[in-house]
Amino acid sequence: MRLGRTRPARLLLALLLVALAAAPAWALTVQGQVLDAQGRPLAGAYVSDGQGVVASGPDGAFSLDTKPGRVVALTAPPGHADGPRWWWPAQQAAQVGRFRLSAARPQSQDRLPLAVVSDPHLYDADAAPTWSGKLDPTVPMRAWQNAASEIRSLGPALTLVLGDLAMDADHGKPPYARSQMTLARRAASMLPTPWRACPGNHDVRYSSSRVDYSLWRQFLGPVRSLTFVGPVAVLLLDNPGISTRPDGKPRECGIMPKEALAWLKSVLALLPPDTPILVGSHYPLASPLVGVNPLRKGSLVKAPSPTGLGLRNVDRNGAQAMTMLVARPLVALVSGHLHAYNRSVLTGRDAVLRMWGAPALCGRWWQGDMDYGPVSFPPAYLRGELTRGGSGWSLNLSQKVVELPASSRH
């Protein structure tokens, strides 16, 4: 009888030990203290894993509930700069303890230089798309190096990269995608710090109608982020999604996931209401260029006539994000994806919405200008500044055309 009683007890103990061993796979708490450049506790720093977000208290302390597999990012408040690192895999972040920031570099209080790069679609000889054919595989990285050198000479307060660093990491086998994302990380390291990036539809993998961010997180960190340029909060949002073409086949399109919308709501709840906000994304939240005329094969929405506009090139959840943003001092929206430089102003009853669309650094897949019917857009990036005036902060950008290097092939 005694032996019979101990077996269930031993079984329960074994199950309890197994449950305790498995617990870290389902829950993880990152706790620590944020310190300024002098090692003093710092309040008002933001810590996020892309799902939740918290602010450090008066003693610099914070606690964030997260999970393994996520990325934890630290946002320095205005007047401070990133430390040696600003993001970690969640498991590593849980081991750091003290998160030290750097002193902000001197900069103008009213004019803050900014650079915006989008859609470089990088590849090299080790990670070239099958269609590249006779194109010189050294051209993309040589052009990127030239552009990065120009951007460094500007000394921007922040450089934004709005997705599609990879040529087509969404296609091919995993080793091919990994080689492209390795190249993307090397390219990003050539930019001046600080820089921030959000993923495009060619930087992620698609599996069973699901967007897989794991390679992006491994090589480039957070898929959505908050940073400050002076007093301006810069929010980068992820919105690669997948939908269905008229013929029933899956098709990449812009859909901000519910996790990003919830994160945006949480961040806005922590930011002071008068904080000016600049929002960047790959797919536009709103844009005058929603497609091409005539429509290309695979457009999600087809007009009843031979010509018309396709709507897969704007974020289908953009209106939900805008509902949260319009009540704030919204400086501008900046986006990529369209490979077409554009600027527009929408005047409403209570607000003025300014939108910028970045050109593609690759132009038309490193073959020259991107053609939109009778209109074309050369390989380029944007540079300019955030400026404070009597009515608040505004964004002014201009297109800088990049000359593609001559082919090294003979």
In b/e form, how buried is each residue of 320-331, taking b as 16+ CB within 10 angstroms?
Answer: bbbeebeebbbb
Cα 270 to Cα 38: distance, rounded to the nearest angstrom: 25
Q: Maximum distance among all alpha carbons in the chain? A: 90
| 408 in a structural domain | no
pTM attached to this predicted model: 0.89
Which domain, by its residues, includes 153?
111-401
Whether 119 and 26 share a structural domain: no
Question: Same domain, yes or no, for 29 and 149?
Answer: no
* Domain C-terminal end among 75, 103, 131: 103
pLDDT of residue 4: 46
Alpha-carbon span 61 to 44, nearest angstrom: 10
CA 83 to chain centre: 20
Closest by Cα among 315, 262, 286, 279 to 162 = 279
Domain contains 199:
yes
Residues 185 and 328 in one domain: yes
Query: Is there a single domain that holds both residue 154 and residue 91?
Result: no
pLDDT for the residue 244: 76
Quote the CA–CA distance of 79 and 45 in Å, as a whole number.
11
- The answer to whether residue 365 sits within a structural domain is yes
CB 385 within 8 A of CB 114: yes
Tell me whether residue 7 is in a domain.
Answer: no
CATH code of the domain covering residue 91: 2.60.40.10
Residues 189 and 95 in one domain: no
Q: Are residues 269 and 350 in the same domain?
A: yes
One domain, residues 99 and 116: no
Tell me, yes or no, whether 212 and 315 share the same domain: yes
- Separation CA 91–CA 97 (nearest Å): 12
Q: Are residues 220 and 332 in the same domain?
A: yes
In-domain check, residue 13:
no
pLDDT for the residue 410: 45
Note whether residue 9 is domain-resident: no
Residue that has been written with the tokens 């930011």 in this structure: 271
pLDDT value, residue 350:
72
Residue at which a domain ends, from 53, 83, 103: 103
Per-residue pLDDT tens over the stretch 300-316:
666 556 655 556 788 98
> Would you give the distance in Å from CA 261 to the centre of its chain?
14
The CATH number of whichever domain residue 187 belongs to comes to: 3.60.21.10
Residue 208 lies in a domain: yes
| pLDDT at res. 18 | 45
The domain tally of the chain equals 2
Beta strands in 176-329 (DSSP E): 195-197, 205-207, 210-212, 225-229, 232-237, 240-244, 250-254, 277-281
Is residue 37 in a domain?
A: yes
25 and 156 fall within a common domain: no
98/117 same-domain check: no
150 and 292 inside one domain: yes
What are the tens digits of pLDDT across the range 16-40? Answer: 444 444 444 578 999 999 999 999 9
Scored b (16 or more CB within 10 A) or e, 364-395 reads ebbeebbeeeeeebbbbbbbbbbebeeeebeb
Ranges of the chain with pLDDT below 70: 1-25, 246, 290-311, 349, 408-410
Of 103, 136, 170, at which residue does a domain stop?
103
- What is residue 215's predicted lDDT score, i.e. its pLDDT? 97
CB 282 within 8 A of CB 337: yes
